Chains A and B, each alone.
Chain A
Amino acid sequence: MSSESIIVEQLSKTYQVPEREGGFGAAVRGFFKRKYKDVKAVQEVNFKIEQGEIVGFLGPNGAGKTTTLKMLSGLLHPTGGTANVLGFTPWELKPDYLRSMTLVMGQRNRLAWDIPAADSYLLAQAIYRLSDDDYKKTYKELDELLELEPLMKKPVRNLSLGERMKVEIAAGLLHRPKVLFLDEPTIGLDISGQVKIREFLREYNKRTGATILLTSHYMADVTALCERIIIIHHGQLKYDGGIANLSRRIAPFKLIGVRLALSEDEGLGDSNGRDLSKYGDPVQNEEDAEKVYVRVKAEDVTKVTSRMLSELPIHDITIADPPIEDVIERAFNE
């Protein structure tokens, strides 16, 4: 037996997406003859993951992360290539395979909405054929790590987002899967919620030796959990290796955001228009239009910040890591 729990070779998925132009004529033509466009979501991806590894699976939206996770969990048939997880071909949906893996999607609920999670957990116990002893033992462990007990008796719909995520993740782990596919397990959670889930996953991995492949938009998730990351972009594998190497390639950048104090006769437009390019690369940020951002090399941050503070009428200043999407975009589009 090899110690690899996931082996992916030349895995590809091409969707056929119906396509038509706007307008009545096109609608009528489309009724009789549909045109399809091929969308290559995943293209000939190869990687191997050892048992017990935690691997971060990264890429911008639409890169093919979720499609890959769905293929590996068996929900999607690929259009090419092979995958082998724990010795199974996932999309054959063999019950023995389904009993040994889990897929948790942060944006989907698996628990019944109207009833307390406790009932859904007992159902999972029956579905996965767990003995009372095994079930109680696993539940106790999960409860220790995630403090589930106070959440068990309320209908799931009455839980907060963070509480629900805890209950959802634990529900996916009751059968002690050997492989975990986690799609955005911390999405929408506040910082302390994210930290809790992260700590839990690390601890779970340590205790059970489970293999974890997770996607996340939060760089902190990835840096905290994963020694290795796989990046895909436009469906193609772009990077597979240690996170330290990637950091060396891209993390030398920080984002400095400033809000300038306005004198009364000065409009906001002038402030935004102020040329900050002498401090670093100006960066657009649509979420926070009042701030102006520049990208600065990590080693220059102190220097540049003090220069900005002395030369500009600074009202507010922030220094942050660039968002992971930018990092990846930048790393591979440069």
Chain B
Amino acid sequence: MFNIFKRLWQVNWAEQWQYRANLAMYILYWLVSPIIYLSVWTSIATANGDVNGLTANDFITYYMILLIVDQLTSNIIIHIFGYKVQDGSLSGELIKPIHPMLTNTLVNDIAFKTLNMMLLIPIWIGLTLLFKPQFDSVSLGGIALAIPAIALGYAINFLLSGIITSLAFWTTRVYSIHEFYYALIMLFAGQFVPLQLMPAVIQNIARVLPFQLFMYLPIQIIQGNLSAQEITQGYVTGILWFIAALIGFRIVWRRGVKQYSAVGA
């Protein structure tokens, strides 16, 4: 199995590398919205002294960490995989003795992510010089504690996106469904606004949803804002969602492949 992933990595890495100019444009596009939120919240906090106890520096560090965490937990499988179903190129992969989504697509996404990080890091350093965040509350221990949460966030996001992408077996409208999913992430993962500024109702909902693992939870762990109990709660919720997403994915995938092979692969 390790050998398969090693070879998949070589192929996908070489392929992604071909599209590095494309990636640079993608990164610039993707950077726009977090930087807008960062700027808006920072200027409000500066004008008022703070927003519900959050200072300008809190917002800056929040969004600077978000840039990294979001990049690590997000995925592009809707783009990698959706069209393969529609144009039939999935057929060649389906008759290979490995799972197309959990091997090839996964590795392709990780290769994409790795290249993105290589582009993002210099930009991130530049932004640090521009916004001058004070990472006083960030500790190595916090980062170490957040890494499993980021991995869990990535896994859940991948599987949920995988479920949505698998809907391509039935409908060509997966992109609009995915847009809706993305809107949920924007709201409940804490991209528009750090979740602690949301009304209590939304915070309570967000706590039982998986989306906070994509951004808010790891960021808060890194910032050292959470108690041991809150962190444990976050992890438990995440693990439950991971199991649910895995089961859901397997069911949808199996039925989807059956559907695909019923209508004409």
Contact = CB atoms under 8 A, between A and B. Distances in A.
Given A115-B14, A126-B6, A77 B258 contact: yes
Interface stretch (A117-125, A265-273, A290-298): A117-125
Interface string A67-111: 100100111110000000000000101011011010101001110
B170 to A, nearest CB: 13
A70 B3 CA distance: 29
A112 interface: yes
B92 interface: yes
Interface residues of A, number: 32
Contacts of A279: none
A49 B6 CA distance: 39
A130 to B, nearest CB: 10
A75 B95 CA distance: 7
B97 interface: yes
Contacts of B14: 114-115, 119
Contacts of A122: 7, 10
B230 interface: no
B96 A108 contact: no
A245 B37 CA distance: 78
A123 B262 contact: no
**Interface of chain B, main secondary structure:** helix
Nearest to B2: A126
Contacts of B247: none
**Interface of chain A, main secondary structure:** mixed
A91 B261 contact: yes
Given A112-B11, A115-B11, A120-B11, A93 B94 contact: yes
A126 B7 contact: yes
B67 to A, nearest CB: 29
A218 interface: no
Contacts of B18: 114-115
B89 interface: yes
A24 B143 CA distance: 59
B237 interface: no
A75 B261 contact: yes
A127 B209 CA distance: 36
A127 B92 CA distance: 13
A127 B4 contact: yes
Contact of A98 (B4, B8, B95, B265): B95
Interface string B4-27: 101110110011001000000000
Contacts of A103: 95
A281 B34 CA distance: 76
A98 B92 CA distance: 11
A33 B6 CA distance: 49
Contact of A119 (B11, B91, B96): B11
B123 interface: no
Given A15-B263, A76-B261, A108-B89, A98 B97 contact: yes
**Central interface residue in B7, B11, B95, by most chain A CB within 10 Å:** B95
Nearest to A111: B92
A37 B96 CA distance: 32
A110 B84 CA distance: 12
B96 A127 contact: yes
Contacts of A76: 261-262, 264-265
B183 interface: no
A103 B93 CA distance: 11
A200 interface: no
Contact of A123 (B7, B257, B263): B7
A74 B15 CA distance: 28
Contacts of A101: 95
Interface in B57-71: none
A119 B88 CA distance: 23
B10 A95 contact: no
Contacts of B10: 119, 122-123
A114 B25 CA distance: 20
A204 interface: no
A198 to B, nearest CB: 23
A286 B94 CA distance: 39
Which 4 pairs between the two chains have the least Cβ-Cβ distance? A95-B97, A75-B265, A123-B7, A126-B7
27 contacts: A15-B263, A67-B264, A74-B95, A76-B262, A93-B95, A93-B257, A103-B95, A109-B89, A110-B92, A112-B11, A112-B15, A114-B14, A114-B18, A115-B11, A115-B15, A119-B7, A119-B11, A119-B14, A120-B11, A122-B10, A123-B7, A123-B8, A126-B3, A126-B6, A127-B96, A127-B98, A128-B97
Given A75-B95, A123-B10, 19 more contacts: A15-B264, A70-B265, A73-B95, A75-B94, A75-B265, A76-B262, A77-B261, A93-B94, A93-B257, A98-B96, A101-B95, A108-B88, A114-B15, A114-B18, A119-B11, A120-B11, A123-B7, A123-B8, A127-B4
Interface of B: 3-4, 6-8, 10-11, 14-15, 18, 88-89, 91-92, 94-98, 257-258, 261-265
